Chain A
């Protein structure tokens, strides 16, 4: 391997690592706030990517209908379940967020898809179509289980993953697709060309990470989210609605997943089931961060990306194995360091 190849692999690794970083951060966020190990994170990536492809090729993507169906389901479930849900004011807010929003998005998709609009329209719309799913899925699958153990929540997460995977196959078919790059520009750095899409990936990731860092460190809403993850009872007692914190975490996770999806759609061919493996690599990063540390997870994500890139060059048939092997020494080290940890302090 000469230095040009090494540089090329490093570029590839860092680009993918940036995506894994976004997913790892989402997983840490969701876990710390709601204790859900969010297996379906990767599905949002595939949904985001394939929704974008749909909008580009002139088809109203299935996700537009799915978001509406989930919105209706969430609306109905809350109508039955929540005690104050029948007050007119609450009812109107819910109708707007659960029925109005997906209908508007569906309508927009109907306009945008056939019109062959550029990425400035299709990309945000693709993200907007997927993001509300996070909220609906949380309300349908996880909020009723808020008091359950981590294991129960994990099983629910696996269930949601399988459902989303199946729906992905129904809506997008078994074929793989690739979106057109956002730009044709590329940056020449000495011997290698930095592709325009890679720059987009790195730029957007950097902006998102800085934004999240600012929001969590310097805004009341962000601090409330952190407080919920540090001490749920304490957060409840100061009047933070912890269910809403969970909702925000899931919306953020879906948004970050969808953004990851649209960013990589022009680089990799995405199948309906590609998301799982991508999400799993974000998960490796999150595990290295102990499912609690954002900076360690982000750094680990870049490492995962680099290992993957070099492994695919040196031993391509073993590349997944090598990536997932990283997790073993980390788990060993963490279990040695922390000894036995009780699942929940009651």
Chain B
């Protein structure tokens, strides 16, 4: 087997004395969607933060394309092809949509950025319409699109998405998950962190379940979707594969 794109060994993250992530190991092969599901506070976002380099590792190590990541500053991780779309989007709210996207390609030559921009506008025609609007005036779904678009401008090899479906209407959630699948098909590997287990398991190739900072289950996403423990904890007793919704909200949309 070729070297995985990203590999994390016994990663630990802590905030002072509080340990958010304990001994998590995961592997992300090229061209796959890997999902990490789990309840709020399970340590999923902390895991992403540490892989991105915005949170220090308290233990363990990570490699990207076989190269160790420790002590690599965030900007160099971005340049190497590692990108994070954070849960809160972190857009430049008073700047225009076009400027947000332009800055996404900060470390790339302007000529390359141009072709990426066309690609992003192709994926998100809505952003093209709103390119002159301030990012702060966008709707929740558009903000998520802009955050993803901005990350894609960096031409990531691995795109890490933190709760991309959070707070979005079911129709938009489906759109976003569909898009994640298309991105994988275009060669971008994806690490998807979600509370929306149903949508995530349907989109992903392989899944990890996190509880209180540790990986408790892992396996091919389709298998996990059938696992009684996952069904009980994350998909609801009714189970099955019929809906796509946030775990705590009512079932909003049905599958076609």
Contacts and interface: CB of A to CB of B under 8 A. Distances in A.
Interface of A: 83-84, 220, 223-224, 226-227, 230-231, 233-241
Contacts of B150: 238
B92 A237 contact: no
Contacts of B103: 220, 223-224, 227, 235, 238, 240
10 contacts: A84-B71, A220-B102, A226-B95, A230-B94, A231-B92, A233-B90, A234-B90, A236-B54, A237-B74, A238-B153
B114 to A, nearest CB: 13
A81 to B, nearest CB: 13
B51 to A, nearest CB: 12
A218 to B, nearest CB: 10
Interface stretch (B20-28, B75-83, B115-123): B75-83
Contacts of A237: 52, 54, 74, 78, 83-84, 86, 90, 151
Given A220-B106, A231-B90, A234-B90, A241 B73 contact: yes
Given A240-B75, A241-B73, A234 B107 contact: no
A233 B85 CA distance: 11
A240 B95 CA distance: 16
B142 to A, nearest CB: 16
Nearest to B108: A239
A234 B106 CA distance: 12
> Which one of A233, A234, A241 has the greatest number of beta carbons of chain B within 10 Å?
A234
Interface string B181-215: 00000000000000000000000000000000000
Nearest to A84: B71
A230 B75 contact: no
Nearest to A217: B99
**Most chain B beta-carbon neighbours within 10 Å: one of A227, A239, A240:** A239
B225 interface: no
Contacts of B39: none
Interface string B61-75: 000000000010111
Contacts of A234: 89-92
B104 interface: yes
A238 B95 contact: no
A230 B93 contact: yes
Contact of B78 (A84, A220, A233, A239): A239
A224 B106 contact: yes
Contacts of B90: 231, 233-234, 237
A231 B146 CA distance: 15
Contact of A231 (B79, B93, B106): B93
A239 B91 CA distance: 13
Given A83-B71, A233-B86, A238 B93 contact: no
A227 to B, nearest CB: 5
The 4 A-B residue pairs whose C-beta atoms are closest, nearest first, are: A239-B78, A234-B90, A239-B75, A230-B92
A77 B74 CA distance: 22
Contacts of B52: 237
A239 B154 contact: yes
Given A233-B54, A236-B54, 5 more contacts: A220-B110, A231-B93, A233-B90, A234-B89, A237-B90
A237 B82 CA distance: 10
A240 B90 CA distance: 14
Contact of A238 (B54, B89, B106): B106
A231 B95 CA distance: 11
Contacts of B84: 237
A239 B95 contact: no
A234 to B, nearest CB: 4
A31 to B, nearest CB: 16
